[in-house]
Amino acid sequence: MGGLTYFDFLAKFGVGGAHPGGILLTKEILSSENLTSMSNVLDAGCGTGQTAAYLNQQFQANVTGLEINPIMIKKAKRRFQAQKLPIKLIEGSIESIPFPDQTFDFILSESVLAFVDKPKALREFFRVLKKGGRLIANEMTINKRLTLKEEHEIKKFYALDSLLVEEDWRNLLEDIGFQRIQLKKEKQALSNGNHIPEFQFSNNFEPKLFEIFNQHASIILKYQDTLSYRVITCTKM
């Protein structure tokens, strides 16, 4: 695919709410968290910044967006400027978070952890969370183990180093020290997509990105019984 990846598709198309359930599920999840204008929140892998904007507008929270992709950063910046939102935006990786220990009350990771070195990023999340801080994630999870061939197809397309079942996520979080771990399977299937699609197209994009989108759609359909996601919440006690 000429070196183009699923993330190039997301960035060039400027997909907002690029996680299962989209902003509607985000709002539902956040409504049961204790967010206030005093909360320091990290949107880890914030993409075009749709959730970060909501966090600031809805709760007046002090929000920082961390994102590795420069195109995503540009689009998030454009959103925050247009809406005059005082959100900090940092270009960097969740595998090496440029903040001191115990900085944040909440970290959101909406479909980001699944794509990185999970233990490394989770150790970083644990480090920069305050005591009592909450991690809220919405991450790709398989309902049952796949054959090696099937796993390979999914891992190759999304450039994943591993595909986790619920138990793997739980073990990982426990090993790192998180407590009050909950993994919730939502009713809406991955194949239902995001009910409020939002795009911020780049002026130029490679036609091959349509092929990438098609491949993504066919993988989701092919593995609709297995390829799923979980809303994961846990606390650093």
> According to the binding rule CB under 6 A, does residue 67 interact with ligand SAM?
yes
Report the alpha-carbon distance of residue 91 to residue 101 in Å, rounded: 19
Half-sphere exposure of 62 (CA within 13 A, CB side): 6
* Nearer to ligand SAM (CB atom), residue 132 or residue 193: 193
Decide: helix, strand or coil at residue 69.
coil
* Residue span binding ligand SAM (CB under 6 A) among the ranges 66-74, 80-88, 147-155, 184-192: 66-74
Placement of tokens 């997301």 in the chain:
10
Q: Exposure of 209 by Cβ count < 10 A (0-12 exposed, 13-18 middle, 19+ buried)?
A: buried
- For residue 145, give both structure tokens: 């183990």
Q: How far is the CB of 211 from ligand SAM (least distance, A)?
A: 18
Using CB under 6 A, which of the segments 33-41, 64-72, 168-176, 226-234 binds ligand SAM? 64-72
In terms of CB distance, is 58 or 179 closer to ligand SAM?
58
Q: Is 21 in the site for ligand SAM (CB under 6 A)?
A: no
Q: Which stretch binds ligand SAM (CB under 6 A): 40-48, 125-133, 210-218, 219-227?
A: 40-48
Task: Tell me how many residues contact ligand SAM (CB under 6 A).
Answer: 23
Element holding 149 (H helix, E strand) = helix 148-158
Closest CA to 189 of 234, 226, 148, 161: 226
What would the x/- binding string for ligand SAM be over residues 111 to 130, using CB under 6 A?
xx--xx--------------
Nearest to ligand SAM by Cβ — which residue? 47
- Strands of the sheet containing 179-184, edge to edge, are 88-91, 62-67, 40-44, 104-110, 129-142, 227-235, 179-184
Our CB check for ligand SAM shows the closer of 16 and 133 to be 16
Where does this chain bind ligand SAM (CB under 6 A)? 7, 10, 16-19, 45-47, 50, 66-69, 72, 93-95, 110-112, 115-116
